[in-house]
């Protein structure tokens, strides 16, 4: 078992190192390392076919719980529910983007506030947070930052502070729900938590934090956004929101499907439909209603990310099966001396620190079995540890330009349009905001759960 553990750790470290180096595409890295885990760790070292079988988790597809879950259950190995859900949402988002939904929404809100820079700044922050509760933050920021740059050029304001605030709020909004950010989907599906569980716990925390964040960014950026007085622009000369809609029929259908997705997610603890079922159903609806464009939508799905997840879960499965994650859990238990507050603080802040520099998806996938083990041995509620892990990984990612996918997309869109954002410029305001929200979250968890 010792040899297997050593190999599992080495494979995991190599995988992390190669993801950071970004020399080879990350899905190839995780799939290669996943294959090595199956062959070397489970096959050669452990001679355990059951470990391979458990990690591949193919049998989950034929269990009723995978599609319709009455009682909470935890999953091990490849988290197929996460993968199917993300795939389904990707198909839906492609349909919405093709119909012009996101650009329309951005322009509509800008027009509602009469395209005045400061109100645009505040409403876009809130919109970023709300949209990210249901849609992946990459897509939200991709559209929001592009429209922000366009409006900035038309209205003569500085888009950088607006984009930075949108990025931060997208990550914050993502922490509010089970489907907002991949770590939450992993945590939720692994621990059998519902959309409403997240909304009621991390959601409330995100709501409180959003109020503080909007105030923080308003005072931090208000002088940077508009210099020497705002330019007066006749909004009737600007492109109307309706011009963003490429096809009215597709637009209405995509709005209805999005509405269905939100309703299904909000009610899934009552309907007992799992996120896998919801993802599959939403994808099915989108494809069926897309007609001739169905193939085009399916081709646009980011399969590399889905493959990345599959490989990642196998590698983490290697750590889990060899007991490495239990050692980590014991280590956290020892240094916290069994003190629940210290344990939660460690999970939240270490998760945040790690997520500020490395991909939060592998981190959270690794930490889920750790908190399961911790909860089992210390008696601290698994849900409380789950909220600490989710908040830490989701919020911590905001601190640096590489901490989360939305940050990369937002800074890239800004740079491509002539507004380069350096590490210094990014961290000057977003790192303090991250620390502020983490502090609020720590107090929130202590007051509410301890």
Partner 1 sequence: MGQLIISVGREFGSGGRVIAETLAERFGIPVYDRHLITEIATKTGMSEEEVEKYNETPKSRLVSRRVRGYSNSIEDNIAEMQFDFIRKKAESGESFVVVGRCSEVKLKDFSSLVSLFITGDMDKKTERVMNIYELDRESAEDLIAEKDRKRKKYHNSHTDSEWGDVRLYDLTINSSKLGIDKTVDFLEGYIRARMDNNSQK
Q: Please, what is the minimum distance in Å from the beta carbon of residue 388 to partner 1?
A: 25
Residue from 1, 21, 256, 263 in contact with partner 1 (CB under 8 A): 21
> Three-class SS string for the chain?
CHHHHHHHHHHHHHHHHHHHHCCCCHHHHHHHHHHHHHHHHHHHHCCCHHHHHHHHCHHHHHCHHHHECCCCCCCCCCCHHHHHHHHHHHHHHHHHHHHCHHHHHHHHHHHHCCCCHHHHHHHHHHHHHHHHCCCCHHHHHHHHHHHHHHHHHHHCCCHHHHHHHHHHHHHHHHCCCCCCCHHHHHHHHHHCCCHHHHHHHHHHHHHHHHHHHHHHHHHHHHHHHCCCCCCCCCHHHCCCHHHHCCCHHHHHHHHHHHHHHHHHHHCHHHHCECHHHHHHHHHHHHHHHHHHHHHHHHHHCCHHHHHHHHHHHHHHHHHHHCCHHHHHHHHHHHHHCCCHHHHHHHHHHHHHHHHHHCCHHHHHHHHHHHHHHHHHHHCCCHHHHHHHHHHHHHHHHHHCCCCCHHHHHHHHHHHHCCCCCCHHHHHHHHHHHHHHHHHHHHHHHHHHHC
Give the residue with the Cβ less far from partner 1, 179 or 421.
Answer: 421
Give the residue with the Cβ less far from partner 1, 160 or 325.
Answer: 160
Segment contacting partner 1 (CB under 8 A): 156-164, 199-207, 344-352, 420-428? 420-428
- Say if residues 282 and 260 touch (Cβ distance below 8 Å): yes
Total of chain residues touching partner 1, rule CB under 8 A: 26
Q: Please, what is the minimum distance in Å from the beta carbon of residue 423 to partner 1?
A: 6
Residue from 211, 420, 439, 450 in contact with partner 1 (CB under 8 A): 420
Q: Please, what is the minimum distance in Å from the beta carbon of residue 146 to partner 1?
A: 11
The site map against partner 1 for 365-404 (x = CB under 8 A) is: ------------------------------------xx--
231 is a contact residue toward partner 1 (CB under 8 A):
no
Residue from 54, 269, 378, 417 in contact with partner 1 (CB under 8 A): 417
408 is a contact residue toward partner 1 (CB under 8 A):
yes
Residue from 23, 47, 64, 292 in contact with partner 1 (CB under 8 A): 23
- Say if residues 15 and 33 touch (Cβ distance below 8 Å): yes
- Residues numbered 137 to 166 that lie near partner 1 (CB under 8 A) are 138, 142
20 is a contact residue toward partner 1 (CB under 8 A):
yes
415 is a contact residue toward partner 1 (CB under 8 A):
yes
Q: Please, what is the minimum distance in Å from the beta carbon of residue 412 to partner 1?
A: 4
409 is a contact residue toward partner 1 (CB under 8 A):
yes
423 is a contact residue toward partner 1 (CB under 8 A):
yes
- Residues numbered 284 to 303 that lie near partner 1 (CB under 8 A) are 302
For tokens 């509760």, what's the residue? 133
Segment contacting partner 1 (CB under 8 A): 27-35, 174-182, 341-349, 413-421? 413-421
Give the residue with the Cβ less far from partner 1, 264 or 402.
Answer: 402
Give the residue with the Cβ less far from partner 1, 13 or 235.
Answer: 13
CA 346/CA 114 separation, integer angstroms: 45
Q: Please, what is the minimum distance in Å from the beta carbon of residue 202 to partner 1?
A: 23
Task: State the angle between helix axes of 423-449 and 204-225 in degrees (0 to 180), rounded to the nearest 10.
Answer: 150
422 is a contact residue toward partner 1 (CB under 8 A):
yes
Q: Please, what is the minimum distance in Å from the beta carbon of residue 166 to partner 1?
A: 15
Q: Please, what is the minimum distance in Å from the beta carbon of residue 132 to partner 1?
A: 15
Q: Please, what is the minimum distance in Å from the beta carbon of residue 24 to partner 1?
A: 11
Q: Please, what is the minimum distance in Å from the beta carbon of residue 408 to partner 1?
A: 4
Q: Please, what is the minimum distance in Å from the beta carbon of residue 376 to partner 1?
A: 35
CA 437/CA 396 separation, integer angstroms: 9
Number of other residues whose CB lies within 10 A of the CB of residue 233:
15
Residue from 234, 418, 424, 447 in contact with partner 1 (CB under 8 A): 418
Question: Where does this chain bind partner 1 (CB under 8 A)?
Answer: 20-23, 138, 142, 302, 305, 401-402, 405, 407-409, 411-413, 415-423
């Amino acid at each position: 078992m010792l040899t297997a553990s050593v190999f599992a750790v080495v494979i995991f470290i190599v995988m992390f190192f190669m993801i950071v180096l970004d020399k080879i595409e990350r899905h190839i890295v995780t799939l290669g390392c996943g294959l090595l885990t199956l062959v070397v760790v489970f096959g050669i070292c452990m001679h355990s076919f059951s470990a391979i079988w458990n990690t591949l988790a193919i049998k989950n597809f034929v269990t009723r719980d995978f599609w319709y879950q009455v009682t909470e259950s935890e999953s091990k190995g490849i988290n197929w529910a996460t993968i199917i859900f993300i795939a389904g949402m990707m198909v839906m988002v492609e349909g919405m983007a093709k119909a012009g939904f996101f650009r329309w929404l951005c322009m509509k809100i800008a027009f509602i506030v009469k395209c005045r820079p400061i109100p645009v700044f505040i409403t876009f922050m809130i919109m970023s947070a709300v949209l990210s509760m249901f849609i992946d933050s990459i897509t939200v920021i991709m559209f929001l930052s592009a429209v922000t740059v366009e409006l900035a050029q038309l209205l003569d304001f500085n888009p950088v502070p607006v984009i930075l605030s949108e990025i931060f709020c997208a990550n914050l909004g993502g922490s509010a729900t089970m489907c907002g950010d991949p770590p939450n989907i992993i945590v939720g599906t692994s621990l059998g938590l519902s959309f409403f569980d997240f909304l009621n716990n991390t959601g409330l925390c995100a709501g409180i934090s959003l109020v503080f964040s909007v105030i923080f960014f308003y005072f931090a950026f208000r002088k940077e956004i508009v210099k020497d007085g705002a330019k007066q622009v006749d909004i009737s000369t600007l492109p109307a929101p309706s011009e963003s809609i490429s096809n009215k029929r597709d637009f209405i259908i995509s709005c209805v499907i999005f509405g269905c997705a939100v309703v299904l997610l909000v009610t899934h603890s009552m309907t007992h439909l799992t996120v896998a079922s919801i993802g599959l159903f939403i994808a099915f609806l989108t494809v069926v209603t897309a007609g001739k464009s169905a193939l085009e939508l399916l081709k646009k799905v980011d399969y590399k990310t889905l493959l990345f997840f599959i490989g990642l879960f196998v590698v983490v499965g290697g750590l889990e099966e060899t007991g490495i994650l239990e050692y980590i859990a014991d280590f956290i238990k020892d240094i916290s001396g069994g003190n629940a507050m210290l344990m939660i603080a460690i999970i939240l802040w270490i998760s945040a620190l790690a997520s500020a520099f490395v991909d939060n998806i592998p981190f959270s996938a690794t930490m889920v079995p750790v908190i399961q083990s911790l909860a089992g041995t210390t008696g601290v509620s698994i849900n409380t540890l789950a909220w600490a892990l989710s908040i830490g990984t989701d919020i911590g990612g905001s601190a640096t330009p590489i901490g989360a996918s939305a940050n990369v997309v937002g800074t890239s869109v800004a740079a491509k349009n002539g507004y380069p954002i350096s590490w210094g410029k990014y961290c000057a305001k977003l790192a303090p905001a991250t620390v502020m929200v983490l502090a609020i979250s720590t107090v929130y968890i202590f007051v509410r759960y301890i």
